[in-house]
Amino acid sequence: MTGGLNRTILAGRLVADPEIRYTKNETAVTHFRLAINCYGSKDVEFISCVAWGGLAKISGEYLKKGRMIAVEGKLQIRSYKSKTGQPKSATEVVIENLQMLDSKFFNATEKAATEEQPEILPV
């Protein structure tokens, strides 16, 4: 096999509010962590995620601590040096798709969709 597959799908709750930042080229980027309860266990995994561009803006504006979301993207492992010069590595999911799963979000969108529909009167 010459290629590989790098696809990650996760659902969990946000550990904290995402913070939106901008690169020197003014590209939006947000970092956040998901808390994921492992099925059949009391263990919790904390997964770092990063979103770029439009997804970063949406994440920064609409996502809040404790909200349930699903993300899809690719796993990335990057190396860097700490402020003291020590080599470090970070593993994170680079988000390509995001879905808000909270019932509050769905109730708000359903209400908005219903309000936009014209009332149908019986004949």
- Closest to 51 measured CA to CA, from 103, 105, 99, 3: 99
CA-to-CA distance for 84 and 64, rounded, in angstroms?
A: 32
CA 84 from chain centre, in angstroms, equals 30
pTM here?
A: 0.75
> pLDDT tens digits, residue range 41-91?
889 999 999 999 999 999 998 999 999 999 999 999 999 999 999 999 999
The answer to whether 53 and 108 have CB atoms below 8 angstroms apart is no
Q: What domains sit in the chain, N to C, each tagged with a CATH number?
A: 8-116 (2.40.50.140)
- Indicate the pLDDT class of residue 111, thresholds 50, 70 and 90: low
